[in-house]
Amino acid sequence: MSWEQTFGIWLAAAFTLGIVSFLYRDNIFYKVCEAIFVGSSAGYWFVTYFWDNLYRKFYLQAFDPVSPHIAPWVGFILGVLMLTRLFGAKIAWLSRWPLAFIIGATAGVYMMFYFVSNAMLQIGASIKPVFVGSFGDIVSNVLIAAGTFCGLVYFFFSKEHKGVFGGAARVGIWFLMVTFGASFGYTVMSRMSLMLGRLDFLFGDWLRLIS
C-alpha cells in the first residue's frame, strides 16, 4: 500500500471519529472536522459545478466544432446577469431578472409535474374496484380508499372540522399518524446499516481487527 493510501486511511479514520464525537457533545475535534467538511465540500461542489455544468453543459455545447448549440447561451446570459450583484448596487438589480426567470420556469414546470405525478396518477391509482378478490383484499381496498378520503378531508382549510366532516378529518389524522409511524419504524433498520459501513471501515480497513 502506498504512503498516500496509508495516510488517507488514517486521515479518514480521524475524521470519522471526529464527527462521531459530536454525539457526546460539541468539541474541538468536531469543530475542526466540521470546518474542513464545510470548506472542502464547498470547494468540491464549486469544482463540480465548474466542470460538469459550465464546461460540459455550456462550453462543450456552445463551442462544439461540428454543430455549436445556441440554447446554452441563454443560460450563460442569465448567469452573467446573476453576477451583476458583485459590481455594486447600481446594476445589482439586474440579478433579479435571472431569478425571476428561474422562479417562473420552476413554478411552471413543477406545477405540471406535481399535478400529473401527485394528483392525476394518485387519483387514477385510487380509482379501483373495491369489492374484488378475497375478503382480505376487500378489507385492504376499503381501507386504502377510506384512508385516502379521510386524509384529504383533514387538509380542507376553508371548512371547520365539526360534525361528520370533523369526524372524517379525525380519522384522516389517524391514518396520517399510522403512516408516519410505519415509515419511521421502517427506516430504523436501514439507518443502522449506514453506521455498519463506517464501522467496517474502522475495524477492517484501518485497525484490521476483523478479516
Partner 1 sequence: MKVKAFFLISAFVLSGFVSGFAQESAEPIPVENDSLTVAETPAPATDVVAKDTPNDAGGSITVTWDLSPDDTTKKIVTKYVVMRAEEGSDDFKEIGSQVAGKRSVTDNEVVDGVAYIYKVLATREILQDDAIIEVLSSPSEPVGPAKSTAQWFNMSRLNIFIGIIILCGAIIYYITAARGGKSFYIRKIAGIVEVENAVGRATEMGKAIYYVPGINDMDDVQTLASLTILGKVAEIAAQNDTRIDVPVSRSMVMVTAKEIVKESYSRAGRPEAHQDDQVRYLTDDQFGYAAAIDGLFVREKPATVFLIGAFFAESLIMAETGNSIGAIQIAGTAQPSQLPFFVAACDYTLIGEEMFAASAYLSREPKLLGSLKGQDLGKAVFLFAIVIGIILESFGIPVSNLFKVQ
Partner 2 sequence: MRTREIIAFFALIALILLAKYVLPHPMQFSPTLSLIIIILLSLTFIIIGVLTLQGKFVERRIVFIYVGAALTLPFFMQIELEVPISPEVQSAYDQIESLNPGSKILAAFDYDPPSAPELQPMADAFMKYCFHKGIKVIIMGLWPQGPQQAGQSVEAAFEDDPALRDKIRYGVDYVNLGFQSGNEFVILRMGESFKAMFPADIYGTPYDSIPILRNVKNYSNIDYCMNFSAGKPGTQEWVQGAVDRFGLKLSAGNTAVQAPMIYPYLQAGQLDGLMGGMAGAAEFEKLTGYKDKATTFIKSQSFAHIVVIVFIIIGNMAFLRGKTERKVK
Partner 3 sequence: MRREIPIAITFIVGTVFIIAYFIPHYPFNQFENWFNDWFAIVAAFAIWLGALNLLKISAIKIFLKKTDQLHAALIIISFLVMIFYGFYNGFSGIMANPPYSYRDPAPGINFSWLYDYVYSSLSATMFALLAFFVASASYRAFRARNFEATLLLVAGFLVMLGRVPVGDLITQWLPRDYQLSQLANWIMNILNTAGQRAIMIGIALGLVSTSLRIILGLERAYLGGD
Candidate list 42, 91, 207, 210; residue touching partner 3; CB under 8 A: 42
- For residue 91, state whether it binds partner 3 (rule: CB under 8 A): no
Report the SS3 class of residue 65. Answer: coil
156 within 8 A of 168, measured Cβ to Cβ? no
Nearer to partner 2, 81 or 202 (CB): 202
Give the C-alpha separation, 82 to 92, whole Å: 8
Does residue 143 belong to the site contacting partner 2 (CB under 8 A)?
A: no
| 163 phi-psi bin (left φ>0, alpha ψ -120 to 50, beta other) | left
- CA pseudo-torsion sign 37, 39, 42, 44: negative
When asked if residue 79 is in the footprint of partner 3 (CB under 8 A), the reply is yes
Our CB check for partner 3 shows the closer of 87 and 210 to be: 87
Whichever of 83 and 125 has its CB closer to partner 2, that residue is: 125
Task: Give me the numbers of helices (H) and strands (E) for the chain, helices first please.
Answer: 9, 0
- Could you say which of partner 1, partner 3, partner 2, none residue 131 binds, taking C-beta under 5 to 8 angstroms by partner kind? partner 1
Cβ at position 179, least distance to partner 1 in Å? 8
Q: Which of 68, 167, 181, 204 binds partner 3 (CB under 8 A)?
A: 181
Dihedral of CA 177/183/189/193: which sign? negative
- Separation of alpha carbons 116 and 119, rounded Å: 6
Should residue 4 be labelled a site residue for partner 3 when binding is judged by CB under 8 A? yes
Q: Which residues bind partner 2 (CB under 8 A)?
A: 17, 23-24, 27-28, 186-190, 192-197, 199-200, 203, 207-211
